[in-house]
A = this chain, B = another copy of it.
Amino acid sequence: MDLAPSPLSRAFPQLRAIEGVTLRVARARYKNWDRADLTFAELAKGTSVAGVFTKSACASSEVEMGREQVTLGLARALIVNAGNSNAFTGYRGREAVEQIMAQVAEALDCEPSSVFVSSTGVIGVPLPKDKARDGVAAVLESEPCGWEEAANAIGTTDTFTKGAGASAMLGDTRVELAGIIKGSGMIAPDMATMLGYIFTDAAIEAAFLQEMLSKANEETFSCITVDGDTSTSDTVLAFATGKVGNAPLTSWEDAGADAFYAALLEVCRELAHLVVRDGEGAQKFIEVAVSGAESDESARRVGLAIANSPLVKTAIAGGDANWGRVVMAVGKAGEPADRDKLSIGFGGVWAAKDGQPLADYDEAPVAKHLQGQDIRMDVDLGIGEGRAKVWTCDLTHGYISINADYRS
């Protein structure tokens, strides 16, 4: 099934090379297709690593091993397989990952534990070891390539190629960040999974890189939803080669730490938004801004309850400023809320305040706003200082067509 590019797609940006990162792709032919589906990033010695992973209790071997590997803090290579997620494949799945780690480690003369592996695609079929072996051999010999080629090769059912970059000044030293991501919801046939990789030439101690990535994740990847479903393989890794030669960042007190975090946050946010923009059947990008909650975490949960509500998402699809459905979604979130203090608006215009519809509510500008592609919803709970932004897309006939009409 070839899908037209999402109407919310963005052109792939100009991304600078990151010193200490060499990208290569090859054809492992994990599926019966003629495209690069195996991606290799070679990383300079001393590269530190951090990661965030799906909370799924049924995670893939790649995720189980990755969770352990990041605690060691060192990375020399990344391998991404596209077309087969290797999830729900038991010990045979684990063996395939270990084979790849050993093969790359031997070629680079490094520890297998510093070789990170991700896989995305069909569930329940063990990654074929022969194809993986030949593919890895081929990718080790292939020519270096650019960001867009790598971003393409990690994709499965993505309708456009996704990347984001930023830079930051650590004192007088300019550092670069570049990121690529794949994902478009849990799409048929189980071509699931969000996989994101961020690279920087800054030197950052692994523990602090993890602290920053985890914090950025809470405000970005953890705040997006397409259909509320969670992949068994979701992974975001950050690699810092240190090749720019700055004094390694070790804590928030270090000069430049805040600047670097701001750049990391920007890259994470853009990558997260791109995944939503490729949501199955999406016609509108929706930002839900929640304020006045008991805490930021509570605000995030309320925002996700709204963003995951099929009734809210179908209302937006229909261009309907249906604030009653937003009330319903706030009510079911299971978070502190007071019906009589709740305010709801669309596109900067309040429709209801303090638990009642506004008498002078002017629907015309709201209706116009809802005709657009970028929708803003404001929800003020009126009981505290907690805030969060959450992003999603609308729920359309396109989603049903992709997920129900197509047989795996």
Contact = CB atoms under 8 A, between A and B. Distances in A.
A231 B90 CA distance: 41
Interface residues of A, number: 72
B407 A323 contact: no
A229 interface: yes
Contacts of A309: 228-229
Contacts of A124: 323-324, 327, 352, 356-357
Interface of A is mostly: loop
Contact of A232 (B55, B87, B331): B331
Given A186-B311, A310-B403, A403-B311, A57 B317 contact: no
Interface in A377-408: 394-397, 399-401, 403-408
Interface string A310-333: 110011011110111101111111
A337 to B, nearest CB: 4
Given A88-B356, A324-B190, A327-B58, A315 B122 contact: no
Contacts of A90: 340, 354-356
Contact of A331 (B57, B318, B331): B57
B229 A324 contact: no
B403 A337 contact: no
Contacts of A407: 318-320
Contact of A230 (B58, B59, B314, B328): B328
Interface of A: 54-59, 87-90, 122-125, 186, 188-190, 192, 227-232, 308-311, 314-315, 317-320, 322-325, 327-340, 342, 352, 354-357, 394-397, 399-401, 403-408
